[in-house]
Amino acid sequence: MEKPVFVINGFLESGKTSFIRDTLNDPQFLASGKVLLILCEEGEEEYDEVEFAQKGVSIISVEEQEQLTTEFLTGLEKFYKPNMIMVEWNGVWKLVDFLDLDLPKEWQLSQIITLMDSTTFPMYINNMRSMILDEVRYSDVVIVNRCDDATDRSAIRRNIKAVNRKAMISYERADGKDAGEFEEELPYDMSKRELEISDADYGIWFMDATENYKDYDGKSVHFLSMLYVSSRLPKGYIVPGRMVMTCCAADTQFNGFLAKLPATINPDTLRSRMWFDITADIRVQSMREYKGKGVVLYITKMVPAQEPADPLVYFS
């Protein structure tokens, strides 16, 4: 029988212990049977081990990351025989190290939940960008807590989605209540048919057009792009896009949409890494490369352009 493993991730004082304690006090969660809680970090708040033992929760502490081996976890499985496992991960340890472990054969990684304190997020993203984004790179759910009306949820969302587009993001107030639905304010006017996308807005446009492609059907767009040309693309198609920095200068990716060339352009004259000002009409189509529907650009104008002084664009 498979036993679900839940990993709770986040920096110190991000609210991991409170989240786990509230979860373990939920009778519905405990209805599945015995729980093994593996603590990889000692926070400001503590667990009442006697109280939890009465509820069928066993707590084991791990002080050094080197302890976490397949043999160690297999020993825990044999001794405690849990029905589910929760891991309070140490925020300064690399989560990928846990993901690389061969878990006991009965254990099945079910969900990775990352807790973030909105009040410290700006400081962390400015000073430890790579470390904080590595925390959310593999997360299924990111809970941003201690939000208030001044919280810049747009910046938080863009930074998270830059490295993990599939993550579900939830916002909570300081009292733990839901901070409500959030709709990002875009930096360009969606009421217009013609969209002018600046370098500063390219990452935001690409992300939103990927997630909400139906909103862009029938519009036109103009932006500065670098080309990707390949024989693996459909005949007559290229990909104009930009190199986007996700968490650091060493971690960049090319983001662009499939684009149909006009009949007046000879595709044999184009090479990857050429720069063009692109004007195109947007249509939403099913494409094999997208494995479904997405934005397809129908180019109406291509003008050769110079590479900008800073060729990178950003999500934030």
Give the number of other CB atoms < 10 A from CB of residue 312: 13
- Return the pLDDT at 29: 85
Tell me: do 149 and 222 sit in the same domain: no
- pLDDT-derived band at 179, boundaries 50, 70, 90: confident
CA–CA separation, 293 vs 80, rounded Å?
Answer: 47
Tell me: do 206 and 166 sit in the same domain: no
Q: Per residue in 257-306, pLDDT tens?
A: 999 999 999 999 999 999 999 999 999 999 999 999 999 999 999 999 99
The pLDDT of residue 311 is above 80: yes
Tell me: do 168 and 250 sit in the same domain: no
Number of separate domains in the chain: 2
Residue 83 exposure: Cα atoms within 13 Å on the Cβ side: 8
Give the number of other CB atoms < 10 A from CB of residue 209: 22
- Return the pLDDT at 129: 82
Tell me: do 147 and 8 sit in the same domain: yes
In this structure, is residue 183 part of a structural domain?
Answer: no
- pLDDT-derived band at 155, boundaries 50, 70, 90: confident
What's the mean pLDDT in 161-186? 82
Tell me: do 220 and 295 sit in the same domain: yes
Tell me: do 117 and 246 sit in the same domain: no
Q: What is the CATH number of the domain that holds 8?
A: 3.40.50.300
- Residue 278 is which amino acid? I
SS3 155: helix
Q: Supply the mean pLDDT for the chain.
A: 90
The pLDDT of residue 211 is above 70: yes
* 304 Cα distance to chain centroid: 34
The pLDDT of residue 246 is above 90: no
Tell me: do 18 and 144 sit in the same domain: yes
Q: Per residue in 33-46, pLDDT tens?
A: 999 999 998 766 77
User: Whole domain around residue 140: which residue ranges?
Assistant: 3-173
Of 263, 254, 256, 258, which Cα lies nearest the Cα of 286? Answer: 258
- Return the pLDDT at 68: 94
**For 164, which DSSP code?**
-
CA–CA separation, 208 vs 215, rounded Å?
Answer: 9
Residues 6+ apart with CB under 8 A from 273: 226, 227
Q: What is the CATH number of the domain that holds 284?
A: 2.40.50.140
